[in-house]
Amino acid sequence: MRVAIFASGSGSNFEAIARSKELSEAGLEIELLVCDQKDAQVIKRAQKLKIPVFINQLTDFPDRGTYEQAIIEKLKPLKIEYILLAGYMRVVTEVLLSEYTNRIINIHPSLLPKYSGLDAIKRAYEANDEVTGVTIHYIDEGVDTGPIIKQSKVIRLKSDTESNLEDRIHQTEHQMYRQVVLDLLNKNNGVVE
């Protein structure tokens, strides 16, 4: 299965997926990292892993439609089947959505619909929520909306600082994203057979 991963920042989810032997053995091929921030740390991670990078910045385009069209032009010849968003800090518009209908997946660090949007971990921490978590979902035109694929809870410990909680949420994210992609690979392999 040929995928592109979209990311804007650190890229720990990108790396967790890219380093998974289980996923590559099951047929995952990461053809491209698409990044909208030229100085993002994720670019270095991709270079280390020898995964091609496409840096595409919104500020170089007149609008979001043409920005996404440039991404589509890059993805088409690579025959990308799924797009995995991993800390991609842009709302995806109809332009990309209509080209990859039901084939764009996102990860979000809360139990959606709670804390959609920015700073989800911080907001859950500051609200003293005893339970928070992670959601992986297909996207639609909203912010962190769209059909949910999987959710996992993360329990806040009494001793947690915001940073401890964040670390545990990220660990849960990495595990979950790998599992969801593995399930997708198995499902798709099944269909092909």
Distances (CA, A) of 87 to 26, 40, 77, 78, 188: 24, 11, 24, 22, 25
- In the residue annotation, 108 being an active-site residue is answered as yes
Q: Classify strands 29-35 and 53-55 as parallel, antiparallel or unpaired.
A: parallel
Instruction: Decide whether 121 or 185 has the Cβ nearer to ligand GRF.
Output: 121
Nearest of 110, 116, 103 to residue 181 by alpha carbon: 103
Among 3, 56, 67, 109, binds ligand GRF (CB under 6 A): 109
Residues of span 63-92 touching ligand GRF by CB under 6 A: 86-87
Among 5, 35, 107, 154, binds ligand GRF (CB under 6 A): 107
The answer to whether 12 contacts ligand GRF (rule: CB under 6 A) is yes
Instruction: Decide whether 14 or 82 has the Cβ nearer to ligand GRF.
Output: 14
64 annotated to a ligand binding site: yes
Q: Which residue has the tokens 């989800």?
A: 120
The answer to whether 108 contacts ligand GRF (rule: CB under 6 A) is yes
Instruction: Decide whether 6 or 67 has the Cβ nearer to ligand GRF.
Output: 6
Among the listed ranges 2-10, 51-59, 76-84, 152-160, the one in contact with ligand GRF (CB under 6 A) is 2-10
Terminal Cα-to-Cα distance of the chain (whole angstroms) = 13
The answer to whether 52 contacts ligand GRF (rule: CB under 6 A) is no
* Residue 44 to residue 66: CA distance in whole angstroms: 26
Instruction: Decide whether 80 or 154 has the Cβ nearer to ligand GRF.
Output: 154
Alpha helices in the chain (DSSP H): 12-18, 21-25, 41-48, 64-75, 94-99, 120-126, 162-192
Q: Which residues bind ligand GRF (CB under 6 A)?
A: 7, 9-14, 86-87, 107-109, 173
Query: Active-site positions?
Result: 108
